[in-house]
Amino acid sequence: MQFFYQHPEYCQRLVLVSSGGLGPDVAWVLRILSAPGAELVLPVIAPKLLLALGNKVRPWLGRTRLGSVEADQAWQAYSSLSERPTRSAFLHTLRSVVDYRGQAVSALSRLQVRSEVPTLVIWGARDPIIPVEHSHTVRTARPDSTVTVLPGLGFPHVQAPAVVASVIDEFIAANPVHEQNSVAERTLVEDLGGDLRIRHQIHVAVGLLMGLRGCSQSEAHNEFHAAVAETGLSAEALARALISIYSGTTEPENAADQVNRRLVVRSRWQPLLSARGLGHVPATIPPGLRARYGPSNESVMC
């Protein structure tokens, strides 16, 4: 859900399977484990001796009616708690989203941000951890969503993966999508024609801007396109200069031109580059070089 919210350009459809964050209710065992002191109790309830015995019995149980995929998954989760790093990671993650009241975070608002994205929700009618009622909450928040409740199942993706895959396949077939690039990206591609080498350099530069600004690919494309228009550099020159600064390499060409291009890039994104430890802008910038944010080079993270 967080990825869907932060990087919408990569998400054409949304599929949620027994997803958390759609309501406060959660199994009582998770509420108990989120309490202080659970890290002292877990080693006691998951001792290595008991786990060794259980691992010897598992193959026999698998050949009887007592064995099941659900039981096997539960045992694997339980046995992993014998390892201290796993316990620490589990409790840290659990306490960030669950407390004694239940789930402390909500993703419902994220569902409504991009209501145009086709959404499928799959739930097991007998889910013992997160109640199936949460699927109805999704239907209320997004009436256009597709909600599929599988009867008799607790963890559908574990107990009936083929059924879940079939439901997803049908959903994808019923909701075709088309690639929609940003205006800036389409403009760059049209300007470059079929030069794959330059297009590759620009894609790398856009990726660097995504990391530099902490923004989406679409926003980075818009930023790159604006920089081309404002600095007067070609898309290729701007991309090569940005890559050069990041990699610390030099380009085998006219040294003066290379320095000027690097100064343009540094002056435009100086605060962000400095925050990454990628150099600074000289006190004196040669005449004719335009900096987007003015003399103080102020910038805002997106």
Contact 240, 254 (CB under 8 A): no
Residue 167: its pLDDT value, please? 94
Residues 242, 230, 210: CA angle, nearest 5 degrees: 40
Residue 165: its pLDDT value, please? 94
Q: Which domains does the chain have, with CATH numbers?
A: 2-23+106-174 (3.40.50.1820), 183-275 (no CATH)
Provide the residue-wise pLDDT of the chain in tens; the chain has 302 residues: 777 776 776 778 889 998 888 888 998 888 988 888 888 887 777 777 777 777 776 666 666 655 566 667 767 777 777 778 888 888 888 898 898 888 888 888 777 777 788 899 999 999 888 989 998 888 888 888 899 999 998 888 888 899 999 999 999 999 887 555 555 555 555 555 456 677 778 888 888 888 877 777 778 888 888 888 888 888 888 888 888 887 766 655 555 566 677 787 777 777 777 776 665 444 443 444 333 333 333 443 33
Q: What is the Cβ-side half-sphere exposure of residue 93, based on CA atoms within 13 angstroms?
A: 7
Residue 229: its pLDDT value, please? 84
Q: Is 91 helix (H, G, I), strand (E, B) or coil?
A: helix
Contact 137, 32 (CB under 8 A): no
- Closest by alpha carbon to 22, among 135, 98, 143, 149? 135
What predicted TM-score, i.e. pTM, was given to this entire model?
A: 0.56
Q: Is 150 helix (H, G, I), strand (E, B) or coil?
A: strand
Residue 202: its pLDDT value, please? 84
Q: Give the burial class of 150: count Cβ atoms within 10 A of its Cβ; 0-12 exposed, 13-18 middle, 19 or more buried.
A: buried
Bridge partners for 119 per DSSP? 14
Residue 232: its pLDDT value, please? 82
Structure tokens at 3: 């990825």
Distance of alpha carbon 186 from alpha carbon 189, whole angstroms: 5
Residue 184: its pLDDT value, please? 54
